[in-house]
Amino acid sequence: MVPTLYFVVPCYNEEEVLPLTGPVFAEKLKAFIDNGEVSENSRVLFVNDGSRDKTWDLILDLHSRYPLVTGIDLEENCGEKNALIAGMYHASRFADCVITMDCDLQDDVEVTGEMLEKYKNGNDLVLGVRDRREDDPFSERFCSAGFYLMMRLLRTGLVKQHSNFRLMSKRAIDALRPYEQIPYFLPAVASNLPFPKTTVSHARAARRAGHSKYNYKSRLRLALDSALVHSPVLPAASWTGLFLCAAAAVAGLVLLLVFGLRDGVFSGWAFVLFTGGALGSLGFAVMSVWLTRLGLYKTYAQKKHIPGIKSKTD
């Protein structure tokens, strides 16, 4: 059976690049349909993530010129991940599989044919992996290398150089719903879903216009989300912190008794304070990581929700 495919493309203040990349998405999907690779019900779905410029007007214009283009306008800005989730949930009502891509087309749309073929061969997830980033500035490549190294050391299971370019089947999208109440990192979850999966390699191109909305502050937040939510190392670290706190208390008590009973004078006070303070501080610092995950990030999850759809093209 020929599958129904949806491209899901989140957009936030993309009025500069959308007139250039929108037609590329539409023409690529039309080629798939003309070749009989996907059904005629396939669509390109642009998700307007609360843009403050003319992005939604441009999506409406693309819809009027390209019948395969559709769009949804979210009630508020919710961030790239939640805009992707909102788009995928909406698309999964009609599609057998979804390909998510950034609006700037820095990821290679030409490898989507290979993704589709691997989906037809039985894979529920096909992850795009960047094998060349020569057009990225050195600072971005350096931060990326450090980020993926940290993810590997923390054993998050994230596929190296995988971001938001992927194909997901309908059942893989449905498997995301239990994660809605935590600030999860979508590429890490996709990398670990228990379904047949594979990868495709592609080069990362330069943006055709505009600039990235993904700044260093958002990169740092992304790294914290990924580490705190997905690392199996941190629960063990938290128990280690609790043990060190207990050890500090016991060591302090023992040393107090030992040195306090020597000639009735507390001669080892400095050593006691140093040892107890050092172990206690280290234990508290490590344990607080887990408390941060359980507390602050639950609050974050409540604030960053998946918004409703304010309007749509059809």
pTM for the structure as a whole: 0.74
Query: What pLDDT is recorded for position 57?
Result: 95
- Per-residue tokens: 223: 């790294």
- Per-residue tokens: 118: 């691997």
Query: What pLDDT is recorded for position 290?
Result: 55
> pLDDT tens digits for 197-232?
999 998 777 666 666 665 555 555 655 665 555 555
In the block, tokens 């008794």 appear at 257
Span of 158-162, 198-202, 284-288, 295-299 with lowest mean pLDDT: 295-299
User: Which residue type occupies 120?
Assistant: K
Q: Is the pLDDT of residue 140 over 80?
A: no
Please, are residues 131 and 201 in contact by the beta-carbon 8 Å criterion?
yes
Q: Rg of the Cα trace of the chain? A: 25
User: Ranked by mean pLDDT, which of 76-90, 207-221, 244-258 comes out on top?
Assistant: 76-90
| Alpha-carbon gap, residue 276 to 245, rounded angstroms | 9
